[in-house]
Amino acid sequence: MMTAVQRLHDVCKATFTMSAPPSAQALQRVRTILDSIQASDVGLDEVDAMSQERGFGFFGTNGRRGRHTPMVARWAPPISYLHLYECEDFSMGIFCLPTSAQIPLHNHPGMTVLSKLLYGSMHVKAYDWVNPCDEKLNSDPSVRGVTSSRALSCAARSAKLVVNRVLTAPCETATLHPTSGGNIHAFTAVTPCAVLDVLAPPYSAVTGRHCTYYREAHSVGSNPGGIIANGEHREESQVETMLEEYLPPDDFVVQRGEYRGPRVGP
């Protein structure tokens, strides 16, 4: 019997191609399968993830544990990445985050990304550029050998907040597009959590799809934008934020984990 993750692979194989962007109907087929996938389908156990955090918790800068001390990630287990599959057209992988761990703001140039939260709770914050640069790369994933958008975006640039929410599993698959839906996003684990990502196409230095990290320089306006929590949206005035490239802190560590789920691919 074909497993859920193998069905996901086969549908992605039929959907994603470098010759043309996927249609809305094709993306919906991928989302439908992702929506049905559970942690157990990819060899994960939420109970095990919770137990692995015993003895860590939140610590303040003075090294003493306390509810009101600043939270830092360096005392927590590192983030793990489980590689499932990669080809020229798409990749599949899982990020496992311990409580309080963060993946900083980062972009996905010329890429469509579908993310399914498998267990736990995660805060997601995402931006789109107000005036996207390198439009040809961002809108056409078939472009190869072009100048990286990284070279065009060194200075702080204006971005608009499009997502600011806490997701709690089970929830629907999130989708971001090359220039919309929150192409620049950050994850913060509210509880131990795991997210299954499909990237189409994958990052590739050869074709100019670099992963660039950003931080918020300053905002232009008086409100933080729309706040969304599990689909409930409170409308607020939108604000533009200046994002600047930076190197992630030394305590941002992603280690390669062992995928223990069903075989993926041919």
Q: What does 225-249 look like in DSSP terms, one character per residue?
A: --EEETTEEE-----EEEEEE-PPP
Written as one letter, the residue type at 177 is H
- For residue 59, being part of any structural domain is answered with no
- For residue 264, being part of any structural domain is answered with no
- For residue 144, being part of any structural domain is answered with no
Q: Choose between 125 and 206: higher pLDDT.
A: 125
- For residue 179, being part of any structural domain is answered with yes
What domain range includes position 177? 4-54+76-135+155-217+239-256
| pLDDT per residue as tens digits for the range 95-150 | 999 999 999 999 999 999 999 999 999 999 999 999 876 444 444 444 433 334 44
Region 59-85: what's the mean pLDDT? 58
Written as one letter, the residue type at 194 is A
Q: Which CATH number does the domain housing residue 164 bear?
A: 2.60.120.10
Bond preceding residue 170 cis, omega within 30 of 0? yes
- What is d(CA 112, CA 108) in angstroms, rounded to the nearest whole number? 8
Three-class DSSP category at 8? helix
- What is d(CA 157, CA 239) in angstroms, rounded to the nearest whole number? 13
Bridge partners, residue 198, by sequence:
92, 114
| pLDDT per residue as tens digits for the range 214-263 | 999 876 654 444 444 444 443 444 678 999 999 998 889 899 999 999 99
Q: How many domains does the chain have?
A: 1
- For residue 174, being part of any structural domain is answered with yes
Query: What per-residue confidence (pLDDT) applies to 10?
Result: 96
Region 196-220: what's the mean pLDDT? 89
- For residue 34, being part of any structural domain is answered with yes
- Cβ(108)–Cβ(28) under 8 Å? no
- What is d(CA 112, CA 200) in angstroms, rounded to the nearest whole number? 5
Averaged confidence pLDDT in the chain: 80
Q: Under the phi-then-psi rule, with left for phi > 0, alpha for psi from -120 to 50, and beta for the rest, what region is 142?
A: alpha
- Cβ(119)–Cβ(49) under 8 Å? yes
What are the CA-CA distances from residue 260 to residues 44, 93, 205 (Å)?
8, 12, 29
- For residue 88, being part of any structural domain is answered with yes
Bridge partners, residue 227, by sequence:
234
| pLDDT per residue as tens digits for the range 141-184 | 444 333 344 444 457 889 999 999 999 999 999 999 999 999 99
- What is d(CA 194, CA 98) in angstroms, rounded to the nearest whole number? 9
Of the candidates 21, 11, 4, 33, the one whose C-alpha atom is nearest the C-alpha of residue 200 is 21
- What is d(CA 61, CA 138) in angstroms, rounded to the nearest whole number? 41
- For residue 16, being part of any structural domain is answered with yes
Query: What per-residue confidence (pLDDT) applies to 20?
Result: 81
- What is d(CA 19, CA 32) in angstroms, rounded to the nearest whole number? 23
